Each structure stands twice: as C-alpha cells, then as structure tokens.
Chains A and B, each alone.
Chain A
Amino acid sequence: MIALVLSLVLAQGYAPLRQGQDPLDSVREQRVQAVGKKLRCAVCQGVSIADSPASMARAQLDKVRELVAEGKNDQEIFDYFVERYGEWALMEPKKSGITLGLWLAPVLVLVLGVLLIISSTKKPAAPVAAATEEPADDYLAKVRADLEK
C-alpha cells in the first residue's frame, strides 16, 4: 500500500511548465547561475537546479534569485537550502565533517603512489650505463626462443 511512493517526477501527469522570474542584472545573474549549479534539484535525478528543466527547479532557482536580490552571500544561500534538505542539497560536498574524506583520500592515494614509484625506480643520480633495449639474460633469451617455436 505504502509502496505507492509518489513524488513529483513519479506521479502521473505533468506540472504545467512555468516561467521563471526574469534574470537579474548580468553580474548578479551570473552568481545566481553559479550558486544554482551547486544546489541539487529536489524533484529530479541528481541534477542541479540550474540544469534541470523541471518546474520545481525553476521555483528553487527563483528562490536563489530572491536571496541574491536580498543581498545574501553565497554561504547564506547554501545554508537556506541545507536547513531544508540537509547536506543532500549540496552538489559539492563540504570540506569538513564526514565528507572531508572525499577530498583527502585521493590526495593520500597520490602521495602514497608517488612514494611507491620513487622507491621502485633508480635514483637519477646513480651512475649507470645507458639501459640496453634487450636485457642480456640467458633465461629470457631461452624463453623467447621457446616462444618463437
């Protein structure tokens, strides 16, 4: 019975498309679009409110416009949406708390990788003769000869 989970997108029928508010002046409108890119649309599938054609996304972008027009800074706008939808609303995860791992782990992997590579290659300073294309190795030569058969 409760399996009838319905949301805007799953419900039968369409919301009539509604026009958003007119854009603000170009400087502020750029901010609206940039902030909109970083907020997740509440009724779509993982798309930002700046990218979604859904009518609810227009409404959310209008809200961003309204907050920008009120002179709110980016952080205050993000806070408005986080207050309502949690961190789920942020397309770009915070660089703190549980999502800090997302930002740090790749750096850690890179550092470990570089250390591993440095330890497995020769020091550039080491005096070595120029490497030969084919290592002179009896065993290898035999394997090669075997394979040629």
Chain B
Amino acid sequence: MKRVVAVTAALSIIGFIIYVMAAGFGTDPHEVPFMMKNKPAPNFIIKRLDKEGQINLADYKGKPVVLNFWATWCQPCKVEQPVLDWAAQTYGDKAVFIGIVFEDTEQNTRSFLQQNGAVYAQVFDPRSTVAVDYAVSGVPETYFINRQGIIVKKYIYPFQSPAQFTEQIQEILE
C-alpha cells in the first residue's frame, strides 16, 4: 500500500514536470512581458530631427498617436519603413505619427534622414530614456496610443504590408 502511494506520487510528479517542460515548446524564451498596456503613455519632450523644434507628447492629447521606435542600424526597421510612410500618408489626418530613434547616434540618424527623407515627425532619444520609460524590449516596436493618452497595444514585429498596419491601427481610431 505504502509503495503504491509512493509510486503514484512519483509518477504524478514526473507527469507534472514533463507537462511543464512540454508547455514550454510553443513559447519564446526571449519574449519580454508587456505591462504598459492600458496605462497612460509616459510623456516626453524631445528634439526633432526632421526639422527644428521639439515634440511634446502632451500637445497631442485628444488625438490617437502612433509611436514607432527604430534605429538606423536595424535592418527590419528599413523593411517596415515604406509601410509606415504609406500609413502616415493614409492615416495622417486621423492620427499623429512619431518616429523615435534610440540606441543610435544623432549623426547617424541625421544623415540617414537626409538621404531617405522623413514623411512624419522624427525625434531622437539620445540616452534611450524614453525607450526605458515605454519598456521597449527590442527594435522596431510600434506603440498605439488612443485619444485619452492610454497605450492600447504595442506591435513588436516589423510591418510587412499595409494590411497588417491597418488591422493594428483600427482600435485607436475609434
């Protein structure tokens, strides 16, 4: 009897461990949890790079904001650039688009923008402090902020088609 109990206990522990490890298969061990969802977007006042002046996020209260974190050395960022340019032209009247460069040098960014032009506002985060405030965990990452200044979601992949972007932006346009 005692032995049956012991064996059953051992087998159930084994089953549990195997189950837990098997559950790990689908998941990405590098994924970082995102807790800023449904929290107010941290404010920032930083220098523009596409033209003179500064951007104060608080000025856009009442408008939906699309905030794209990127860097010049990041290849996938270049992949999604045409999609974001298209989106800024398509949704530019309904939402504010801000590109924010971090983990980069100002010089790199300026020459990159000179070569490629900027369709929407581009700002520079020299010490990545805004990125830390927003809990950025990779690049590129796109944050969607609603009219009330609440972060609705973030998209951690590069946009590869206009359809992908359209699907993501709907929620903050309502």
A–B proximity contact (CB within 8 A): yes
Binding site for B on A (CB under 8 A): 1-2, 4-16, 18, 21, 42-43, 45, 55-56, 59-60, 62-63, 66, 82-86, 88
Cα A7 to Cα B156 with chains together (Å): 8
In contact, A84 and B135 (Cβ under 8 angstroms): yes
A79 → chain B closest CB, angstroms? 11
3 pairs of A and B residues whose beta carbons are closest in the complex: A7-B138, A84-B135, A59-B128
A15 contacts B76, C-beta separation under 8 Å:
no
| A8:B157 contact, CB within 8 angstroms | no
Q: Are B75 and A86 in contact (CB under 8 A)?
A: no
Does residue B23 face the partner (Cβ distance < 8 Å to A)?
A: no
Task: State in angstroms the CA–CA spacing of A43 and B69 once bound together.
Answer: 14
Q: How many A-B residue pairs have CB under 8 A?
A: 104
Q: Does B33 contact A (CB under 8 A)?
A: yes
State the CA gap A83–B38 with chains docked (Å): 12
**CA A62 – CA B28 in complex, angstroms?**
28
Interface residues on B, range: 20 to 34
**Contact across chains for B103 and A84 when beta carbons are under 8 A apart:** no
Chain B residues 81-140 with CB under 8 Å of chain A are: 102-105, 108, 127-129, 131-140
**B-side contacts of A1, CB under 8 Å:** 160
Contacts of A13 in B (CB 8 A): 73-75
CB-defined contacts of A62 to chain B, threshold 8 Å: 127-129, 132
In the complex with contacts A6-B139, A62-B129, A88-B32, A55-B103 CB distance below 8 A: yes
User: What are 24 A-B pairs at a CB distance below 8 A?
Assistant: A5-B30, A5-B156, A6-B156, A7-B156, A8-B138, A9-B138, A11-B75, A12-B74, A12-B75, A15-B103, A15-B104, A16-B73, A16-B103, A18-B103, A18-B128, A56-B103, A59-B103, A59-B128, A59-B132, A62-B127, A66-B129, A83-B35, A85-B137, A86-B33
B135 is contacted by which of A15, A45, A66, A85 (Cβ under 8 Å)?
A85
Residue of B nearest to A16 (CB): B105
Q: Is the pair B73, A14 in contact by a Cβ cutoff of 8 Å?
A: yes
Kindly provide the distance from the CB of A21 to the nearest chain B CB, expressed in whole angstroms: 8
Query: Chain A residues near B36 (CB, 8 Å)?
Result: 84
Nearest Cβ in chain B — how far from A23, in angstroms? 15
Residues of B within 8 A of A5 (CB): 28, 30, 156-157
**Within 8 Å CB of A59, what residues of B?**
102-103, 127-129, 131-132
B172 at the binding interface (Cβ < 8 Å): no
Contacts of A42 in B (CB 8 A): 32, 135-137
Q: Please report the C-alpha to C-alpha distance between residue A21 and residue B158 in the assembled complex, in whole angstroms.
A: 31
In the complex, whether B49 has a CB less than 8 A from a CB of chain A is: no
Return the chain B residue nearest A88 by Cβ.
B33
